[in-house]
DNA sequence: CGGCATGTTGAAACGTTTCAACGAGAGTGG
DNA sequence: CCACTCTCGTTGAAACGTTTCAACATGCCG
């Protein structure tokens, strides 16, 4: 099956038996909970980062949830596979976003690198320890959950009542909104059409047709496989909101 | 418009200007964060409960988020209305479940009483204060978010790839799983067909047809408007998982 | 017992999926 | 550098499921 990509790379948690060293652990936590984006080099020097290559599995649904992560570079997808072989992508994580923060003993979704990814990895147990007695950290942790929850509810709203074209428009709009200051309105993501379709709850063909339709309307352009240029942000908004 | 039910009752937050009394506040918090179900009478005596009648608005999306709530009796729906007038129900809250726990300054969804509702109301600011320096409470608060997030992701998974019949089956299955011990497998909820449809992202007619189909298969029975009897739990599971 | 909201069913319209074929682009080796 | 190959993306036509519009049934409340 083409869509299966459950290769387990050198970062696989099951392959790592090393004990959690308290010092490195605490350092990782601090980076993890830091509000602003910490310099990449600092984190790499501290040895708290991990690399993943395209389509590599960070962790699988059901694995023991030992670590929480923060994306430094690249993008990660959280997904679930169903009995019928279809995949639902629950969320995409971009730089500075966290994942694997669940409280349950096991991960609730599978996490995979969309393209090449650099991530900060932090032992969950350590985060728990740091949280005790530190209100700021508690607050930060809560806000991570809160953010994830807001994203999920937004996703529910989209899947519940939008047409294919509206979903595609909403999707690009949301990505654009997450990248402020980008004057050129160019989205340069490693997502495949299949990734987008699985996030939107559509087939790849329908997604493609909606995209073509938007191109025909000069709302967006797709100069290359993984690049989307928003040519008419106002028009995109209108379509996303149903004023087609 | 029939579906509009934005009456604002006597509990409306905007109508209440009373200051938050520290003692009652702390008491409300304790009840709110308590793991097990506290006795209803105790809460009522403490004056920390509020009643809502059928279809009454607890709060509206965008209102200043002053309180968090916990359902004591009845059911609450969280929803969002779109420009086209359609409504997406994001979640149903049953007894012992919490809502309005967002961190943002305003509520992200509208909360309404499905039938008559008794709820515990707790000032959000008070919860924040109580959280500081108390790891147990912090943990409890986190776990509320975690639960909401898990529900939302489950919802996304359902909306993303299930057919009408599968959605209806999943819905009743989920409700049944939340009510353990019920030997008779009878769900007695005040939800209208419209409520169910808006949760499942379907029209009322499609929901109805799926229900009828399940009745025809002797999987469920609907002896009265608001009552569902699960006659074949195994069969229901099979359908919910796509082995139709 | 009306009267009205809510629920149910049918038939046509609509949008999405499925199946199938084709095109475009990236990487490889000649 | 080109041709080959393989994956990924795009388009078309028919099948399918959901929605829409309409009519009718049921149940609840005054």
User: What averages of pLDDT result for each successive group of 10 residues across chain B (244 residues)?
Assistant: 44 47 75 76 78 95 96 95 94 95 95 95 90 84 94 97 97 90 79 97 98 96 92 95 83
Q: pLDDT value at position B105? A: 95
Q: Using CB atoms, which residue from A83, A150, A201 is nearest to B108?
A: A150
Is the pLDDT at A22 greater than 90? The verdict is no
Q: pLDDT value at position A27? A: 81
Judging contacts by C-beta atoms under 8 Å, the chain A residues touching residue B103 are 142-143, 146
Nearest chain A residue (CA) to B164:
A160
Q: Higher model confidence: residue B194 or residue A188?
A: B194
Return all residues near A18 (Cβ < 8 A) that are at least 6 apart: none
- pLDDT tens digit sequence for A117-147: 999 999 999 888 888 878 888 888 999 999 9
Q: Higher model confidence: residue B184 or residue A112?
A: A112
Q: pLDDT value at position B7? A: 46
Is the pLDDT at A40 greater than 90? The verdict is no
Judging contacts by C-beta atoms under 8 Å, the chain A residues touching residue B156 are 88, 90, 152, 155-156, 159
DSSP one-letter string for chain B? -TT------TT-GGG------HHHHHHHHHHHH-SSPPPHHHHHHTT-EEEE-TT-EEE-TTSB--EEEEEEES-EEEEEE-TTS-EEEEEEE-TT-EE---SSSB-SSEEEESSSEEEEEEEHHHHHHHHTT-HHHHHHHHHHHHHHHHHHHHHHHHHHH--HHHHHHHHHHHHHHHSTT-TT-EEE----HHHHHHHHTS-HHHHHHHHHHHHHTTSEEEEETTEEEES-HHHHHHHHTT--
Query: Which residues 99-128 in chain B show a CB within 8 A of chain A?
Result: 102-104, 108-109
CA of A214 to C1' of D2 (A): 36
Is the pLDDT at A216 greater than 60? The verdict is yes
CA of B159 to C1' of C1 (A): 44
Summarize the confidence of residues A198-217 as an average pLDDT.
98
Is the pLDDT at A237 greater than 50? The verdict is yes
Q: Higher model confidence: residue B136 or residue A24?
A: B136
Summarize the confidence of residues A17-26 as an average pLDDT.
61
User: Is A160 in contact with B201 (Cβ distance < 8 A)?
Assistant: yes
**Per the structure block, which two tokens stand in for A3?**
């869509």
pTM of the model: 0.91
Summarize the confidence of residues A156-165 as an average pLDDT.
97
Judging contacts by C-beta atoms under 8 Å, the chain B residues touching residue A170 are none
CA of A5 to C1' of D2 (A): 32
Q: Burial level of A180, CB count in 10 A (0-12/13-18/19+)?
A: exposed
Query: How many Cβ atoms are within 10 Å of A200's Cβ, its own excluded?
Result: 24
Instruction: Tell me the three state secondary structure of residue A29.
Output: helix
């Amino acid at each position: 099956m083409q869509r299966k990509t459950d290769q387990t790379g050198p970062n696989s948690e099951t392959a790592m038996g090393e004990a959690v060293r308290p010092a490195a652990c605490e350092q990782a936590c601090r980076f993890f909970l830091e509000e602003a984006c910490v310099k990449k080099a600092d984190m790499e020097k501290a040895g708290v980062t991990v690399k993943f290559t395209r389509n590599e599995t960070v962790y699988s649904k059901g694995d023991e949830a030992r670590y929480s992560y923060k994306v430094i570079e690249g993008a990660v997808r959280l997904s679930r596979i169903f009995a019928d072989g279809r995949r639902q992508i629950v969320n995409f994580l971009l730089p500075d976003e966290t994942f694997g923060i669940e409280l349950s003993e096991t991960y609730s979704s599978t996490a995979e690198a969309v393209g090449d990814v650099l991530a900060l990895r932090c032992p969950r147990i350590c985060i728990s320890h740091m949280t005790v007695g530190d209100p700021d950290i508690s607050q930060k942790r809560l806000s991570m959950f809160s953010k994830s929850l807001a994203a999920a509810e937004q996703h529910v709203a989209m899947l519940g009542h939008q047409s294919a074209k509206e979903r595609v428009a909403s999707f690009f709009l949301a990505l654009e909104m997450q990248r402020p200051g980008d004057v050129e309105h160019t989205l340069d993501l490693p997502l495949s059409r299949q990734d987008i379709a699985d996030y939107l709850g559509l087939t790849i063909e329908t997604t493609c047709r909606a995209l073509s339709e938007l191109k025909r309307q000069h709302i967006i352009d797709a100069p290359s496989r993984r690049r989307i240029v928003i040519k008419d942000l106002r028009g995109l908004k209108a379509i996303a909101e149903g004023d087609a």
